[in-house]
Amino acid sequence: MDRAETPRGRGPRIAAGIAIVGLVAHFGLTIMHVGPISPLSQQLAPVTNAWINPFFNQNWELFAPDPVNTDMGLLVQARGPDVADEEAWVDISTPLLERKLHNPLPDHLHYVVTGSAHNFVAARQEIIDHPSVADQFPEAEPFAAALPQDVLAAAPEDLRGAYDFTLDSLMSTAARSWSEQMGQEPTEVKIRLVTHTFPRWSERADPGIGEVVYSDLPWSSVATVGADS
């Protein structure tokens, strides 16, 4: 053990020195990447992005700055020669949540539906909040669930891409869940986003369920879902 505790020769010591510099640089850039925007992080952004992406990409805003505090559900209407009831709104979220209820080892399936819905709503909100859109539509009424073309046109291309991508994924997810649940093949689906704001802290003892808001996306053909990527 005595021999093992003796510092090694010059080579390993130089290697250790280089590695320490590397560690400082790597975690410096990591902190620039995960932290809030600062003059330094903006200045270093090109280097940070090149180094961090894709393998060191990370996000630690876990339940922050505020935790998720609304539930999002999906109701789906379907059309097609195989569809028995074209008027029925089918709840595709509740069965997935019920699989998870009282289950200590749940599978990930419920994430597919809620995650797709949250991603779409987030991509939509990012467009609405973008300065170029906010400048052009300052006093606008609340937009429809599917953003109007002129609003989309005002947004930068990457945000539009993310919006289309998340919308496509939401549509195909809804169509698959509907078809799995009903055992029928739809050719068109229509999604109703259900945003449930459960009672806030001060109303926590209320027997009511809080506030529910519905917003509908237009009919979308299942055949074209995801095809125009």
Partner 1 sequence: MIGSSTVTAVTTFFTTRRHGQAVLSAVRVGYGLTTALMLLVNLPVRSRLWGTQAAYDWEAFVAGSLQAGQPSLYALSSSAVWADILYFGTVVAAILFALGWHTRVVAVVFFVLLWSLHVRNPVVTNGGDNIMRIVLLYMIIARTDTFWSWRAYRGQRPPGRLRQAVEPYAIVANNVALVACVVQVCVLYVTSGLFKVQGRMWQEGTALYYVMRTADYNTWPELTRLIYQWPAVVVIATYAAVFVQVFLPVSLLDQRLKRVLLPLVLGMHLAIGLLMGLPYFSLFMIVTDLFFLRDKELRDTLAALKSHSRRILRRQSPEARPTPGPATVFSLPGGRDDGL
Please list every residue from 45 through 64 that binds partner 1, using CB under 8 A.
53-64
Of 4 and 141, the one with the shorter C-beta distance to partner 1 is 4
**Token code pair at residue 158:** 């990457």
CB of 40 to partner 1, least distance (A): 16
Beta bridge partners of 192: 75, 216
Task: Report if residue 229 touches partner 1, rule: CB under 8 A.
Answer: yes
| Residues from 60 through 99 that contact partner 1 (CB under 8 A) | 60-71, 97
List the Cα angle 209/210/216 in 5-degree steps. Answer: 100
CB of 198 to partner 1, least distance (A): 5
Stretch that binds partner 1, among 82-90, 108-116, 182-190, 215-223 (CB under 8 A): 108-116
| Residues from 111 through 130 that contact partner 1 (CB under 8 A) | 111-112, 114-116, 119
Please name the helix (run of DSSP H) or strand (run of DSSP E) that holds residue 166, with its range, or none.
helix 157-182
Q: Which residue has the tokens 């109701």?
A: 75
Task: Report if residue 208 touches partner 1, rule: CB under 8 A.
Answer: no
| Residues from 179 through 198 that contact partner 1 (CB under 8 A) | 196, 198
Each residue 125-164 as x (binds partner 1 by CB under 8 A) or -, in order, gives: ------------------------------------x---
d(CA 115, CA 60): 17
The burial of 13, by beta-carbon neighbours within 10 Å (0-12 exposed, 13-18 middle, 19 or more buried), is given as: exposed
The burial of 73, by beta-carbon neighbours within 10 Å (0-12 exposed, 13-18 middle, 19 or more buried), is given as: buried
Residues 201, 207, 208, 218: which binds partner 1 (CB under 8 A)? 201
d(CA 126, CA 161): 12
Number of residues that bind partner 1 (CB under 8 A): 76
